[in-house]
Structure formats: C-alpha cells, structure tokens
Structure 1
Amino acid sequence: MDSLYIGVDVGSGSVRAGLFTASGDLQHVAVKEIRINNPEPGYYEQSSDEIWNAVAYTVKEVTKNVDEEKIASISFCATCSLVAIGETNKPVSINKDDDSSEWNIVMWMDHRAHDEADFINSTGHNVLQYVGGSISLEMETPKLLWLKKNLPSRYNNTRHFFDLGDFLRWKATGSLRRSVCCLGCKWTFVNSPTGSSWDESYFREIGIEDVLPKIGVTISFPGDTDQISLDAAATLGLSRFTKVGFSMIDAHSGVLGMLGCHNQEDLDSGLTDAAERLSIICGTSNCHMALNRKSMLVPGVWGPYYGVILNDFYLSEGGQSAAGKLLDHVVMSHTAYPALLEAVGSHGKVLSKLEGLLSTIAANQNEIATLTSDLHIWPDFHGNRSPLANPTLKGMVSGLTLSTSVEDLAVVYLATIQALAYGSRHIKDVMEKAGHKFTELVLCGGLIKSKLFVQMHADILDLPVVIPACTEPVLLGAAMSAAAAASSDLTLIDVVARMAGGCTKVQPRREDKTYHDKKYQVFLKMVEDQVQYRKIMSD
C-alpha cells in the first residue's frame, strides 16, 4: 500500500493542509482562514483554539474519501508566534485589556516588545552574536520579558510557552519535546556540532530565568518522530498509528521544500550546490534563507543556526518585515484604488491590471523598469529586519506628484516591487561579504504569482530565479518532515531527494543592469538620509 503524508502550514491569515504521495506529488489542498486581533498599533494576537480547530478542518478535508490507514504521518510548520498555555492546558490570555479573552498568541509580527528588545540588546550578551548582533522584537524572549513586566499574573499562570509549531506538535502527540528549529532560531537556544543547551546566564541577565522550566528542556531534531495521541487521532480523523514529524517554522519548511528542486538542465550539468542557493519565501513578510556547511556570522542577519533544517548544515536567515503586506498597503492607499477595485472586482485582479498597464505605458517590455527613474522607495514601513536590524526605521518615498490616475498607481506599484528587490539585494550583498556565494535565487510564496516581482528580483540581484514546480513548497517541506518520521530506513536528505520535484528558471535581463545599479545607489542613500534626519531632529 502506497503511503501518503500530510503537511500542515499555519500562516498569518490561514491554515493550509496538503496531502502528498511518496514521490512528492500534491494530491489535495485545503485552506481555512483564521482571525488576527489588532487591538492597537503594533499589537497582533491570535487564538490557539481557533487555529487547532482550523487544523482539524483542513486535515479532514484533504483526507476525505482516503483510507486512514494510507496516511503514514503528519507534520506541522507555523509562523514563529508565542503561545501561552495554563495549568489546565487551557489558553492564557495575552491581551492586556482582557484576561478572559481567547487571544493567547503573540504573533510574530507583534511589535509591543520594543523597549524590552532595546534592553536586551544593551546587555551585549554573547548569545546576541547568533541574531546578527541584536535581537529582534519579533523574537520570543523580548515578548516573554514584556509579558512578565506588563501581565505578571498571566505570565506566572502560564505552564507552557510554545512556539506555534511546537504547540501544534504537542496538541497532536502530548510530547513536550521542542523543535531545535523553533528554539534555535527564535528563542536563543544554542545548538552546535558538539552539543546544545540554553545559556542560563542570558535568562538571568535579562530577568526571566524563571521561564526556563516553561519553555522546554527536551529537544527534537530534523527527522525525529513521535506517535499521534488517541485524542488527536480522533480530532483529526487519522489512524492511531499515524506518526508525527519534526515541526518547523513555516519559512524554514519552505527552504526544505525548495532545496532539491531541479530541471533537466540541472541534471545534465550537475545539480547546484544547496549552499549556492539563496531561498526567499515571499509572503506577508519575506524570509531570505541560506544553508552552508560552514559557520558564518553575518551582521544584521540571524544565525548561523546549526542543524535547524538539515543536520550538519548551518542556516543564515535575513528578511523583510513587510513585503506582501507592504504592496497591499501601498496599492490600497492610492486614491485610484477604490474605483479600480470596483471596476475589476477583486484585489488580485487589481494587481494583474496594474502589471498589464505597465506594459502599455512603456514603449516596449524592456523599458518597464525605467518608468521609476524619478520615483524611489525605501520599503521599511514596518522597520528593517535585515541587514540593518533596526525596527525603528520608517518607509520613505521620493518623487510623488499630485496625480490620481491609475497609471500613476501602476508606477508606484512597480517602484514598490523594485524597492523590495533592492532590499533583497542589500541582504545578499551583506551575506556575500561575510563569505556566502550565491549563483541562484529560489522563490516561493504568494508573491511569485507576479511575473513582474520574479523578473525584478532576477534583474536587480543579477541571478537566475528558480521557481519550484510544486506550487506549495512550504507544505511540501512539512510533508517531507512527515515522510522522514514514517520511514525506518530513509534519512531526511534521502526524502528531500525523492520528493523535491522539478522547477523552471527565469534569467536576468542584463540590459537594465546599469539602471538598477544607479537605483540601488539611491536606495542606500535614502536610509543614510533618514539617519541624518533623525540626528538633526535629536540635536
């Protein structure tokens, strides 16, 4: 009997489940939207009960009319959000105005812990070298410190603090083992070829040493397996013999799902070394991920994290805090948007219309890029994650006019896409200066539906862009983890090779290279100017 594997991805706005064969073919996908509570600027919260119910719904949807005995295993990936669970295994509210609310998750993009992150960074503790030199307020220890300072009774009443991926695995198995992917990348857990541990001096120095019993001491590594609990099997509609795999952060699962994709040209010339691929998971935010067998510290880039996706590989992780969210914000804020939305009927059709309009405005396809010669955008409307690691930076626009036309909106849309690509180039340049070498980009996520987004990344970073044939590489990565958990004789690397699938490639158009080099100079000058403006105002 051919086995099937389930990958579950909990993103910012939805839960998705995918059913895969042993060769990596996607059979079914189900999606269930989940809510975000935004009680005030910078605060983003979710409900773990709602998310678990959505997981049950999507898993049952993809396994409808499938013999439960064929489902060998399941694995989860999720945003790196903080979940609070109390003594009775019930949610503990993190909503500062309502201690009885269902909101018990501080989302990854929540920025309430700004002061706490500043304090932690002022300590200069040794663990900060693994987060690019300064910890992000999007990581978990600043959020834990915020909870202790601002909601002490709820902090004290919390029995378990989980990363969301670990919460899902706990719900499925009852196991308190924590993923080295989640803990290493977001909680300051230190993993190395010679051992792994929490640095207790760090927690003492920042004043939350009492949290250590609540965040896990038993660690799960890539390829690990657990048994589904009877309760979870009944809830999810799965067999009691189902295995549960290693849990990951969603972007990291995407790296696993994209790692081995190849086409016939790759096979003929020899597969590209995984260390030469810069993977960008493009969604609400963008994550820039690179694997290497060497440990390389990169200023402003998180890592290197050892063994968090594949054993024996180090991960370096950059990113942009707002990407798809930034594009939506810029487009929807333009005065021409409401009428265009009414005319075409949906936001997705608005974006398609704008891309078509750009071809009309330009005299020919090759001139589209140059429509923004007088319009420049610094894209950090939600702060800079990498490589400047400065969450206080703001967005900047130079070149606005009084135009309210749809054509003006199209050019603004183009300039925003270019700004995100220049930001990716900035991250790439810093990583290469520290020792990385990239010969290809690999992209996945919702933003790759835009041919313009893909082509601008190829042109601006001057690298071929690889697009995996699998339309759901994040789900595929989770399914790979599930398949490894179900196998007694295949390693995770074996599973990746078997399930990876094909790809297509988009080559850079080098006729615009000089233009983009000049725009990139302006891009870097903009942030210098912003720093100077702040200096003037502070003086």
Structure 2
Amino acid sequence: MSRACTIGLDGGTGGARAMVVALDGTVLATVDSPYETRYPKPGWAEQSPADWWAAAVRSVRAAFAAAGVSAADVRAISADGTSSTLVALGDDLAPVRPAILWMDNRASAEARAMTATGDPALRRCRAGVSSEWMIPRILWLARREPETFGRSRWFVEMADYLALRLSGRLTLGHNQITNRWFYDGRRGGWPDAFFDRIGLPGITERFPAEILPLGTPIGPLSPAAAEDLGLSPETLVVAGGTDAYVAMVGLDVCRAGRTAFITGSSHLVLPMVDHDGEIPGLFGPHPDCVVPGLSVIEGGQVSSGSIVRWWHDHVARPMQPEGDAYAAMMRRAAEIPIGADGLVALDFWQGNRNPYTDYDLTGAMFGLTLKHTPDHMLRALLESVAFGTENILRTLKDAGSPVASMTVCGGSARSDVWLQMHADVGNLPIIVPEVAEATVYGSAIVAAVGAGAYADLPEAAGAMVREHRVVEPDAGRHARYAELFEIYRDTHDALAPLMHRMARRES
C-alpha cells in the first residue's frame, strides 16, 4: 500500500536511529544501530565518522523495510547530529582524524582564554565560553595538533557530515553555527575580528560557504547514498541541525512561551522566546536558529542520563545480570526516602555547562555512612540531576523569565520515577508527547517541510505532534526538595575550590 512518508535520521551519542514517519505524523518504524565511543584520556571522547555512516545505513535500511513502504513513498530524509562534534575534513572531504565528541572537554583552556577576551562576540555566553563549543575545539586543534590542523581543509558538525554523505554536497547548517559557532545573522554573520583575536585568522575560509537554515532542501540523494540505503535517488535530502534543537520541532516547541526539556546523555532546558535579552549563566538568545523571528535560550547539563547509564553498566548490571536491571534499580531507588537519608551528590561528572560553565568541576558524593546502600547512592545521583535542572530553572526565574511547563523527550520520559522527581523538584507540569523520540521525530518533520508537505516548521509540528499525558508536581514533595536543593548548591560552593585544585594537579 502506498503511503507518502519521510525519514528522520538521528546521529546520537550512542548510535544512529532512523524513523519512518507518514506525513500525518504516524510513526511507521524505528530502528537503532549502536557505535562505539572511545575515551583516549580523562575528559576526552571520540568517535569514528565511518562508524556513523555504517550505523546510519543499517538503521535506515531496517526501518525502511519494517515500515512496509516503497522507495517511491519516501519523499525526503533529514539528519540531525550531536552538538559541536567536530569533524575535520581533508581536500577529499574525508575525515583526517576521529571526530571530537560533544562531551569532550579537552578544550577547557582554550575556552577560558576566549572568555578572558571579553569580546562583544561573547554576548550570548556571558557566563563563559563552553569547552563543548566548536570554536574552542578548532583552536585546540590548531594549538595541540598543528599537523592535523594543517591537513584540515573543512570543519563541519556531525549533522553536516551526515548531510554530505547523504547528498554528496558540502553544506553548513545555520542552526548549528548559530547556537555553537558564534554566528549571528542579525549582527553581520561571522565575528572575524574575534577569530583573529583568539588566534584563528582566516578560519572562516575553512567553513563551507553554503549555509542552510533548518528545513531547507539540499538536493537529491547521491547515487552512492541511494544504493547504500536502498532508497530512490530522487529522495530529497533536507538540511538538519543540532539534535536538541531539532527535538524542539519534534516536541512542537515552535512558538514563544513553550519550553523543551531534552533528556538523554545530557539534559537541556530550551525556552522559545520572542525577545533578544541575555540571561547571565545561560547561553543565548540564539536568533532564528529554529524558527525565523524567534530565539532560543539554552540551559544544559553535561552529565545526566550518562550518569544513570554508568550506574546501570558498572553497578546494577553486574549485581543483576539477568532481567531488566534498569527497571529494577529505578524501582529500588524510588523506595528510598527523599534526600537519600542525608546523602548528597553532585552531577558534574563531565563538568558543568550551566549556570556555572565550569568544566573543571567533577562529580561528588558526601554524607556516606554504614546505613547507606547502593540504592541510596543511586537515589542521590538521580536527585542531583533533578537539582541540576532546577538550578537552570531558578536562573531563568531570577532573570524574570520563569518557565510555566516543559515538554519532555528522551530517557527521563521513559521513567515515571525520574519524570515525577523532575516535576516535583521544579514544581511545574511536564508534558509528555505521544512520540518520546522527539529528536529523530523532529528530523522527520523537518524533512516533511523540506519536501513541501507543510509551509513551515510551526505548521508541520502543530499538525504532526500530539500530547499523550501531563505529569503534575506534588506541592508537599516540592517543599522537601526545596531545602535539599539549597544544600546541593551549597555543596557546589564548598567543593568547587578543591575540584579546581585537583584539575590543576591533573592538567
């Protein structure tokens, strides 16, 4: 049976996910294929772009087959990718080294040096430049691997690389460069004077000149890609973007006053706003990067779901090799009282993005006694991540931009325990959509706009995204968490000097 559809392709931290979606928003099939992350040194993280493409091919082929549609039914495909994952390409458009993954913090010194300039280009990151952003990574490459830097003709994001493999055309996503590369289309584009100042003169000559907004057609699949994927060479490739920002489309956060809550390896709180005011401690506003005329404020946590995954892999799974270790560990954590009987944890396992923007911070836990069990420790870790989200929400509220509700996707949406904890700590309702995999779903919606099925992203998201349920906060539990949150913040203040001292020792 013929059914017009699109394919979303998500290049995530742990693997490539493909989703086939009918133009009315019905999900026809979803398939994941994993790839490896390597950690050459503490705080470093790298992946192979070849692994990305191999996993993408497996996922797209399997999802397409499972959807039961014909190649002619697939109107378009769009890919998103992890944010500021640096891909350095040679003259032949092949990677010259492994990709530096978004969570890698090797460029902390470069980020601090950029912050110290106080340049006007830093207006959207007053709290400090994040070592996760693209320009610090490129500066690190120029300083620490000059030979590799010299062989690098082009610098792109993961989403740009996937678009290149799909279409054969080298492009740069407007979405990515606006929220991570200091590009500002409302203020002249690239801040060339700033790049000169930090030691990257002429660097924009190594950025692809063709800059495409989210949802813009790039062109048809290349013959090679069509053969690899088993799709028609007439299938349109549509410009994607940063995974979390594409997820805003998949959550229908395309109008001012709505807020996306993206959960996974990291957490992001992303309010869509109609103003251009900065908020100290947060990033943005990033103008026009999702919807023209609107901006996105960004508050993020580097380590959230990745902490829970670590606990599952290294503690829960070895203790329970059979059955669903994740469900069992979350169930036991839910039985521990609020506050974990005096156990306090910090969620800075890969540093802090917001509101401290300090990548020398590390994870911590104090208050351990012989009364405590591993379940207490997990409870404290879960609470620490919820407190990290609340730290961002408090920063927004204190700046006069309170969040009324959040629409969630990702790992937390699959855990009633953790979702309720976030609602209670933040004292706000959390909306759960029918499709929890909002990132790859957002890419499919982006593809539908590029294919001409809808006039723009707000119209497409409004037609395709549907609400499933709302998690309401409990006022009593919120009051108990509020006191614990202050202890969480005081713990950061007390331990940060020691963490900085250790970072200097290890550098």
What range describes the TM-score normalised by the shorter chain of this pair?
A: over 0.9
The residue type equivalent to 2:124 in the other structure is: Y
Tell me how far apart the structure 1 counterparts of residues 331 and 166 of structure 2 sit (CA, whole Å): 46
Shift of 1:56: 1.7
Partner residue in 1 for 2:18: 17
In structure 1, distance between residues paired with 2:70 and 2:314: 49
| Partner SS for 1:288 | strand
Aligned to 1:254: 247
Alpha-carbon separation, structure 1, partners of 2:198 and 2:283: 20
The answer to whether structure 1 residue 159 and structure 2 residue 153 are counterparts is yes
How far apart are the structure 2 equivalents of 1:332 and 1:50? 22
Question: Partner residue of 2:320?
Answer: 341
* Alpha-carbon contact 1:5-1:20 (below 8 Å) kept: yes
Structure 1 residue 339: Cα displacement: 5.7
Is the aligned partner of 1:35 residue 2:36? yes
1:316: how far off?
A: 0.9
d(CA) in 2 for partners of 1:258 and 1:72?
22
- For residue 447 of structure 1, the aligned residue among 393, 412, 422 is 412
- Residue 221 (structure 1) aligned with residue 221 (structure 2): no
> Counterpart of 2:46 in structure 1: which amino acid?
E
Given the superposition, is the C-alpha separation of residues 277 and 398 from structure 1 closer, same or farther in structure 2, using an over 3 Å criterion?
farther
Is the contact between residue 251 and residue 438 of structure 2 (CA under 8 Å) also seen in structure 1?
yes
Distance (whole Å) between structure 1 residues aligned to residue 483 and residue 196 of structure 2: 48
Pair 535,474 (structure 1): closer, same or farther in 2 beyond 3 Å: closer
What is the alpha-carbon distance in structure 2 between the residues aligned to residue 535 and residue 73 of structure 1?
48
1:248: Cα distance to partner? 1.1
Separation in structure 2 between the aligned mates of residue 535 and residue 500 of structure 1, nearest angstrom: 44
SS at match of 2:178: helix
Pairing 1:439-478 to 2, within 5 Å after superposition: 439-478=404-443
2:111 alignment partner, one of 117, 120, 123: 117
* 1:84 match: 88
- Give the superposition deviation at 1:172: 1.6
**Which secondary structure state, in structure 2, belongs to the residue aligned with residue 185 of structure 1?**
helix
Q: Look up the equivalent residue of 1:142 and give its one-letter code.
A: P
**CA offset digits 1:231-278 (Å, max 9, x no partner):** 322222222221111211111111110126xxxxxxxxxxxx943333
Deviations 1:74-102 (A, max 9, x none): 00001020111111222202xxxxxxxxx
Q: 1:72 aligns with which of 75, 82, 107?
A: 75
Q: Deviations over 1:179-220 (max 9, x none)?
A: 11111111111122xx65101001101111232111123311
Equivalent in 324, 327, 331 of residue 352 of structure 1 = 327
Q: Please list, as runs of the form range in 1=range in 2, the aligned pairs for 1:39-438 lying within 5 A after superposition.
A: 39-64=40-65, 65-80=68-83, 81-93=85-97, 103=98, 105-192=99-186, 196-228=188-220, 229-259=222-252, 274-330=255-311, 337=316, 340-342=319-321, 345=322, 349-358=324-333, 361=335, 368-369=337-338, 372-402=340-370, 408-438=373-403
Report if aligned partners of 1:132, 1:303 keep a CA contact under 8 Å in 2. no
Please identify, of 385-394 and 59-68, the stretch whose mean Cα deviation from structure 2 is larger: 59-68
CA deviations 1:148-197 (Å, max 9, x no partner) are: 112212211112111111111122223333111111111111122xx651
- Alignment check: 8 A CA contact 2:430 2:470 kept: yes
What do the CA deviations read for 1:35-70 (whole angstroms, capped 9, x no partner)?
112122122111112211221221111112521111
TM-score by length of 2: 0.93
Shift of 1:22: 0.7
How much does 1:403 deviate? 5.2
CA contact (8 A) 2:433 2:466 kept: yes
CA shift digits 1:123-151 (9 cap, x unpaired): 11111121244111111111111111122
Q: 1:531 deviation in Å? A: 3.7
Q: Structure 1's 208 and 512: CA in aligned 2 closer, same or farther, altered over 3 A?
A: same
Q: Could you list the runs of 4 or more consecutive aligned residues of structure 1 that deviate by over 3 angstroms after TM superposition? A: 273-277, 328-334, 531-538
Check conservation: 1:297, 1:434, Cα contact below 8 A.
Answer: no
Q: Is the 8 A contact 2:238 2:447 kept in 1?
A: yes
Determine helix, strand or coil for the equivalent of 1:300.
Answer: coil
- Unaligned stretches of 5+ in structure 1? 94-102, 261-272, 363-367
* 2:27 aligned residue: 26
- Partner of 2:202, secondary structure, is helix
Cα pair 1:191 1:305 within 8 Å, conserved:
no
In structure 2, C-alpha distance between the alignment counterparts of 1:472 and 1:177, rounded to whole Å: 26
Alpha-carbon distance in structure 1 between the residues aligned to 2:417 and 2:356:
26
Change (3 A) 1:353 1:488: closer
Distance 1:452 1:124 in 2: 43
Distance 1:14 1:217 in 2: 29
Three-state SS of the structure 2 residue aligned to 1:19 is strand
Q: Does the aligned pair in 1 maintain the 2:213–2:239 contact within 8 Å? A: yes
Letter in 2 for 1:168: L
Which amino acid is the alignment partner of residue 395 of structure 1? G
| Counterparts of 1:489 and 1:519, CA distance in 2 | 47
Unaligned runs of 5+ in 2: none
Give the letter aligned to residue 522 of structure 1.
I
| Percent of aligned positions that are identical | 25
Q: Alpha-carbon deviation of 1:2?
A: 3.8
Distance in 2 (alpha carbons) for counterparts of 1:536 and 1:46? 30
> What is aligned with 2:469?
504
User: 2:500 & 2:34 partners in 1: Cα distance?
Assistant: 44
Tell whether 2:481 aligns with 1:516: yes
Secondary structure, aligned partner of 1:315:
strand
Q: Counterpart of 2:140 in structure 1: which amino acid?
A: W
- SS of the aligned residue for 2:306 comes to helix
The residue number in structure 2 matching 1:267 is none
Q: Which moved more, 1:9-18 or 1:55-64?
A: 55-64
Distance 1:488 1:446 in 2: 30
Letter in 1 for 2:171: R
* Counterpart secondary structure, 2:19: strand
Q: Aligned AA for 2:34?
A: E
CA distance in 2, matches of 1:503, 1:536: 47
The answer to whether the 8 Å contact 1:111/1:137 transfers is: yes
